[in-house]
Amino acid sequence: MLRIIAGKHRNRLLEQPSKSNTRATTERVREAVFSSIQFDLVDKSFLDLFAGSGAWGLEAISRDASYVEFVDNNKEAFNVISANAKSLKENNLKIWQMSALEYLKRTKQTFDFIFIDAPFEEYDLVNQVLSSINELKTLNNNGTIIVETNKLDQIILPAEYEMIKHKRYGKIDILYIKER
């Protein structure tokens, strides 16, 4: 069972979609990422793309992010995120059931943090999402994109972006990306 690691909702259990639909990130990886951004996250906006259970965005809310949006095109994931959010009684969030690329085309919202956890075998989709974020200016000035992947060499950054940090946890790579 997933849980929120820290913050005002610490140790709250979260539902998760069936294993066939999503791949949950380990608590170790989530804790490491949030430990590295915790002081920058307070009162900032957070976008959770390919949200699955919503654990990343809900962790951000628990750690005092001001606003979070969740995007997943899977109906079961949408329902699970909705149930998890309702159980926390938070209203500073929105949940969207649509593809990440469609969401990016439609939204006018910009974010301080954007987390991308696409299905591992869909590297081209990650690259398309990064390009869309860049072209549509979805990332705020001095914002950070965080990508979870298992194939670092398949990720192609737009020329306007640079990887400022890379961490490896077993077979998982976490990339921290900012505008140049």
Q: Give the start-to-end residue ranges of the domains of the chain.
A: 2-17+26-179
User: pLDDT tens-digit profile of 118-153?
Assistant: 988 888 999 999 999 999 999 999 999 999 999 888
pLDDT value of residue 20: 56
Tell me the C-alpha distance between 96 and 51, whole Å: 10
- CA triple 167-16-89, angle to 5 deg: 100
pLDDT value of residue 48: 99
Banded model confidence at residue 33, pLDDT cuts 50, 70, 90? very high
pLDDT value of residue 45: 99
For tokens 């306007």, the residue is 160
pLDDT value of residue 26: 82
Tell me the C-alpha distance between 144 and 164, whole Å: 9
Banded model confidence at residue 4, pLDDT cuts 50, 70, 90? very high
DSSP for 118-161, written as a single string: --TT-HHHHHHHHHHHHHHT-EEEEEEEEEEES-GGG----TTE
Cα 125 to the chain's mean position, in Å? 15
**What is the fold of 2-17+26-179?**
Rossmann fold (3.40.50)
